[in-house]
Amino acid sequence: MRTRNDVDREQFTDGELAALALAGRQTAFAELMRRHREPIFRLIRGYVGNPDDALDLVQECFTSAYLHLDRYDQARPLRAWLSRIAINKCRDWARRRTVRRLLFGASALTQAAAEVPDPAPSVSERAADKEELERLWRAIADLPQALKEPLILRTIEGLSQAETAQVLKISEKAVETRLYRARNKLAQYRAR
């Protein structure tokens, strides 16, 4: 059952909630997290391919957003601002991962860990669907950064072409071209 405060928070815009959070109302930021955590998780999951790493990065994303909330322009969509933070966190994660691979040669171990099957029992059809979905997430995660980002923002998160261009700081035509290339690469991956 919802309280009166829950209903009131849902009536506020993201910009109003951000202003309330800046004024010290933690429940306002909690509402922003509730509204945006699933799309941000999907964005990050698509980028990194691993749900556990994605959860850690979602936490980093919202921590950073909270610490820098004063930089948010309330006239713009909060989802785009959060998506930008999430992409930056993913890029940092990818750089750290590359350094670790170079230093510790952990690529074989990482690949072996990614291939560990899910031990949960399920119907074979459901397992096949889950496996195909995991393959797709891995294929998306393996795309070059320039193709992965517009694909996730536009196709998975449903941002418009203009919003995607704004988040990535590229032209709308570049978004269109990169989407076309990303979809072609995914089609080639599925054909394997």
User: Whole-prediction pTM value?
Assistant: 0.62
pLDDT band at 4 (very low <50, low <70, confident <90, very high): very low
Query: What integer pLDDT is reported at residue 1 of this predicted model?
Result: 41
Query: What integer pLDDT is reported at residue 61 of this predicted model?
Result: 95
Range scoring the smallest mean pLDDT among 98-102, 125-129, 140-144: 125-129
* C-beta atoms surrounding 120 within 10 Å: 8
Query: What integer pLDDT is reported at residue 3 of this predicted model?
Result: 45
State whether the Cα torsion 180-35-13-87 is positive or negative.
negative
Mean pLDDT of all residues in 104-130: 58
Residue 191, token pair as written in the block: 């054909």
Q: Above 80 in pLDDT, residue 21?
A: yes
Query: What integer pLDDT is reported at residue 114 of this predicted model?
Result: 57
Query: What integer pLDDT is reported at residue 188 of this predicted model?
Result: 84
Annotate 136-163 with b (16+ C-beta within 10 A) or e (fewer). Answer: ebebbbebeeebbbbbbbbbebebebeb
Length of the chain: 192
Q: Above 50 in pLDDT, residue 121?
A: no
Query: pLDDT tens across 82-93, in order?
Result: 999 999 999 999
Q: Would you say 90 and 168 are in contact if contact means Cβ atoms under 8 Å apart?
A: no
The Cα 177–Cα 138 span in angstroms is 22
Higher pLDDT among residues 81 and 123, named by residue: 81
Name the H helices within the chain.
4-11, 14-22, 26-48, 51-67, 78-104, 107-114, 124-142, 145-151, 161-168, 172-191
Close Cβ partners of 127 (under 8 Å, ≥ 6 residues apart): 118
Query: What integer pLDDT is reported at residue 6 of this predicted model?
Result: 47
> Which domains can be identified in the chain, with CATH numbers?
9-116 (1.10.1740.10), 123-192 (1.10.10.10)
pLDDT band at 126 (very low <50, low <70, confident <90, very high): low
The residue type found at 20 is L
Query: What integer pLDDT is reported at residue 187 of this predicted model?
Result: 85
